[in-house]
Amino acid sequence: MAPITKVNDKVKVVLTGFQPFAHHLTNPSWLSVQPLHNTFLDLPEVPVAKQDPKHHKATQAYLVCQELPVEYQKVPNLVPELHVTHSRTITKDGQVIEVGVNESKQAEEKEKDEYLKTYYIHVGVGRDGHTAIETQAHRTGYGGLDNAKWTPPNKDEPPVVKEEWSADPDLLTTTVDTAALAEYLKTEKGWICQQSLDAGHYLCEYTFYLSMAERQRRIAAGEEGEGERTCLFVHLPSVGNPYTLEELQRFVKDMIVGVVSQY
């Protein structure tokens, strides 16, 4: 029996945070997203005057979360796997289903929802004093010891070199208007937030690059269109500088709403 696609009013948001590292004995990036795993977030109705006729009309976001290791040699496998796990796949009879890495057989046996769009929002800990919406990420230029006590040997090459990724561009930019998103979070939600053009050249930026590169590869291969998925990276300050953990969790929700409602 062919799987049945149910077109619904939901989008999927894949959130990642990082394990503790260096002097961060706990990592606010993971502590801020972990409670959101497997939950639904109601989305406000966008005023007619601000509606983009091409934008989805989702009323809820389904949130799934995953903790990432602070290890250069692991994230190049884990990030693309996230994109596979939460991708839409076309079946032989032309139907669209949500297929996970270990769920293909299950998907053939039961109904699966088709989400209107998938968002990949990666969260890390950055500078104190403010939150930051990252705009771009580089292919090369990385350094610093990771949790495995390993550092990329050559800043002129990606931390992990794969021949099939040799055509990836040197710089990738998110499709989100990061200046507008930061302004929304600052003026309408009251957060100390700014647009950033420097994601730090460490695991945070590398993860952001890998995610955007995976999106670009799928588009180039004709597997999906430009609007199928959106990738973003957000830096949070450490707890207490200036926000409590509860406040950071509220910021993450406000940020998700801002992204999903407009991009």
Residue of 234, 2, 245 whose CA lies nearest to 120: 234
CA distance 263 to 252: 16
38, 63 Cβ separation under 8 angstroms: yes
Which residue's entry shows tokens 């939901």? 10
- Give SS3 for 28: helix
| Interaxial angle between packed helices 245-262 and 178-187, expressed in degrees from 0 to 180 and rounded to the nearest 10 | 130
Q: Is residue 152 part of a domain?
A: yes
Structure tokens at 213: 């590169």
Distances (CA, A) of 20 to 95, 128, 184, 210: 41, 16, 30, 20
Kindly write down the DSSP assignment for every residue of 34-102, as one continuous string: GGGTTEEEE-PPPPGGG--TTS---SEEEEEEEEE-S-TTTHHHHHHHHHHHTEEEE-TTS-EEEE-TT
Q: Is residue 19 part of a domain?
A: yes
CA distance 163 to 183: 40
Q: Is residue 207 part of a domain?
A: yes
Q: Cβ atoms within 10 A of the Cβ of 128, count?
A: 13
pLDDT at 50: 66
Q: Is residue 63 part of a domain?
A: yes
Q: How many domains does the chain have?
A: 1
Structure tokens at 95: 């139907």
Q: Cβ atoms within 10 A of the Cβ of 133, count?
A: 26
CA distance 242 to 238: 8
Structure tokens at 72: 């250069």
Q: Is residue 140 part of a domain?
A: yes
pLDDT at 118: 95
Q: Is residue 97 part of a domain?
A: no
Cβ contacts of 237 within 8 Å, gap of 6 or more: 28, 125, 126, 127, 128, 129, 130, 131, 243, 248
Q: Is residue 122 part of a domain?
A: yes
Q: Is residue 99 part of a domain?
A: no
pLDDT at 104: 40
> What single letter denotes the amino acid at residue 25?
L
User: How does pLDDT run across 112-166, given as a tens digit for each residue?
Assistant: 567 899 999 999 999 999 999 999 999 999 999 999 999 999 999 999 999 989 9
The sign of the torsion formed by the CA atoms of 197, 199, 200, 202 equals negative
Q: pLDDT tens, position by position, for the chain (263 residues)? A: 344 444 568 999 999 999 999 989 999 999 999 999 999 999 998 765 566 777 888 999 999 999 999 999 999 999 999 999 987 543 334 344 444 444 443 333 333 567 899 999 999 999 999 999 999 999 999 999 999 999 999 999 999 999 989 999 999 999 999 999 999 999 999 999 999 999 999 999 999 999 999 999 999 988 888 888 999 999 999 999 999 999 999 999 999 999 999 99
What residue numbers bound the domain in which 159 lies?
Answer: 10-87+115-261
CATH code where residue 22 lies = 3.40.630.20
